[in-house]
Chain A
C-alpha cells in the first residue's frame, strides 16, 4: 500500500538557518504530493503541493520538488524564522485510489530558536 516516510525529528534550528526535512514515498499509482503544517492547537494547513514529476511547489519561502526517480519530496527553506516552529507533515494522494484520501508521514516537529 501507499506510505510516506519522513526524517526523524524533532529538529531544532537557530533563526536564519537552512532547513531540510526529508520525505520519501511509496505509491501504487502516480501520486500528488503535499506538505502540510500544524501549529500548536490548530488543524493542518496546506503549505505547498506538486502534482507531477519535476514540479516545484513553493509558498512562504518553503520549496519542495517532486522527484519521481528518487520517490522524494524534500521540504527546504533558506532562512527559518521563530514563527516557522510547528509540526510538518508530508502527504500523498494516490491516483490509484478513489477520492481525495491523504496518506501522511509521521510528522516532523520543528523548533526555531531566536
Chain B
C-alpha cells in the first residue's frame, strides 16, 4: 500500500509569507505527527493529531499551526515566515496513538525561506 505522501517536496518562500504543507497518511492510519528537522536543532516535534483532534503539541511559537481532516489528511501552516524556519518538515503516520506505536515517515517537504 502507498506510504506517507507529503506535498510539495520542495518549496521556496520569502520571509514574511505564509506556507501550507500537506500530508496524506497511510490508508487506515488515523494519527499524524509533524516534525521539523534542521542541522542545528535536529528533529523536533511540532504536533500530533488523532481523529481530527490535536493530542500533543511541541514547543513552537503560535505561527506554527496544523489541522487534520476527516479523511486523516493533515496540513500544517507557518505564518510570517522567518529565515530560521528553513528546514525539512517530516510527517509521520501511525494506526493508533501510544508509546509503542510505529511511526511511518514521509520523505518530507524541504522549505527554504529567503
Residues of A within 8 A of B (CB): 31-32, 36, 41-46, 49, 51, 89, 93-95, 97-107
Contact = CB atoms under 8 A, between A and B. Distances in A.
Contact of B108 (A43, A95, A99): A43
A60 to B, nearest CB: 15
Interface of B is mostly: strand
Q: Is the interface of A mostly helix, strand, loop or mixed?
A: loop
Contacts of A43: 4, 90, 105-108
B31 interface: yes
B85 to A, nearest CB: 19
A97 B58 CA distance: 12
Contacts of B102: 46, 49
Given A43-B90, A43-B108, A104-B42, A99 B50 contact: yes
Contacts of B101: 93, 100
Given A99-B33, A100-B33, A107-B43, 9 more contacts: A31-B99, A41-B107, A43-B106, A51-B99, A51-B100, A93-B100, A101-B58, A102-B103, A107-B42
Contacts of B92: 44, 102
B48 A101 contact: yes
Contacts, number: 71
Scoring B43, B98, B108 by chain A CB atoms within 10 A of each residue's CB, the highest score goes to B43
A104 B31 contact: no
B48 A100 contact: yes
A103 B107 contact: no
Nearest to B9: A41
A32 to B, nearest CB: 5
B43 A89 contact: yes
Given A44-B90, A98-B56, A32 B100 contact: yes
Contact of A100 (B42, B99, B106): B99
